[in-house]
Structure 1
């Protein structure tokens, strides 16, 4: 028997803003809200427990110091990497420098709150 990743929880100064951003990036929809202000987003046809993990944006006022020890990698499903990069930048992602050399096959970006994620080159089939 093994475990599966069911949810990823991301602290957010503005959960509403990050939920909107990541919903557009991933094609997710809002699945629910908690009394503490947390917002869960996930695949529209599967929700929690489906083949993809859901994302919970949890309100936090704790200051972040330095690079997070975990980041998200994304792959385009319906366009090439350059077109997806343009789309992500238009949604509010910003280029980020984490010490890359410039010869990588991926792009390092940050979401509207500065959480680093990577856009990989390889196109994946949609689920």
Structure 2
């Protein structure tokens, strides 16, 4: 028996803004909204429980203290790393300095809330949509 990551929950002061950003980054769509203002996004045509985890952007007014203990790594699926970096920066990501030397094969970025994530070099295959 084993577990699988089904959701990643990110606390944010602006769920709509972060949901829009990560939907564009990942090619996700809005799957639903909760009464508390949480927004769940995930792969189109799949939703919760598919091969990729969904993201839940949960409203929070609590200030974040320091670096998050977890961050997201992303890989391009249809372009090289440099082209994907340009796309992510155009979407609102910004370079982040976490002490890297400049010799790394990845780029450290921050989303509109300042959450660090990395753009890795390898290109991955796109997860195909479910067959109907």
**Normalized against structure 1, the TM-score is what?**
1.00
Please report the TM-score for the alignment, with normalisation by the length of structure 2. Answer: 0.96
Shift of 1:104: 0.2
Aligned length in residues: 127
**In 2, Cα distance between equivalents of 1:44 and 1:15:** 19
Residue ranges of structure 1 left out of the alignment (5+ in a row): none
Moved over 3 A (4+): none
Give the whole-Å Cα distance in 2 for the aligned partners of 1:61 and 1:99.
28
Deviations 1:68-120, CA, capped at 9 Å, x for gaps: 00000000000000000000000000000000000000000000000000000
> For residues 99 and 64 of structure 2, what CA distance do their matches in structure 1 show?
19
2:51 and 2:45 map into 1 onto residues whose CA distance is 10
1:85-124 matched pairs, under 5 angstroms: 85-124=85-124
Give the secondary structure class of the aligned counterpart of 1:24.
Answer: helix
Alignment partner of 1:56 is 2:66: no
Q: CA deviation at 1:45?
A: 1.8
Cα RMSD, aligned residues only: 0.3
Structure 2 SS opposite 1:109: strand
Structure 2 unaligned spans of 5+: 128-132
